[in-house]
Amino acid sequence: MTKVIQERSKCIGCGSCVAICPKYWGMEEDGKARLKNSIANAQGDDELEVKKAECNQEAADSCPVQIIHIILK
Ligand code: SF4
């Protein structure tokens, strides 16, 4: 399994992750990107478990503030 984590409070809303990986990312009305179907973890960040990172890796690589993390378990 793979974990995708977004430190959502630090998102600057550039839209890069949404453009690169719309299967998993969308823009919300507050101007920040949302990792679809994610849940808040103990640290208060948004987290989603997936089988493979897929385009989330490219989304993480493209994030200008580096707040998308891919963790291989
Ligand atoms: S690429 Fe990073 S800063 Fe830009 S919208 Fe996505 S999470 Fe936010």
Tens of pLDDT, residue by residue over 5-63, are: 999 999 999 999 999 999 999 999 999 999 999 999 999 999 999 999 999 999 999 99
Residues 73 and 27: their CA atoms lie apart, in Å, by 28
What is the b/e burial string over 10-41, where b = at least 16 CB atoms within 10 angstroms of the residue's CB? ebeeeebbbebbeebbebeeeeebbbeebeee
H/E element, 35: strand 33-35
pLDDT bucket at 65, cuts 50 / 70 / 90:
very high
How many angstroms does the Cα of residue 20 sit away from the middle of ligand 1?
11
Indicate whether residue 20 lines ligand 1 (CB < 6 A): no
How many angstroms does the Cα of residue 3 sit away from the middle of ligand 1?
17
H/E element, 69: strand 68-72
How many angstroms does the Cα of residue 16 sit away from the middle of ligand 1?
6
Residues 9 and 27: their CA atoms lie apart, in Å, by 14
Residue with CA nearest ligand 1 atom 2: 63
Q: What is the pTM of this model?
A: 0.96
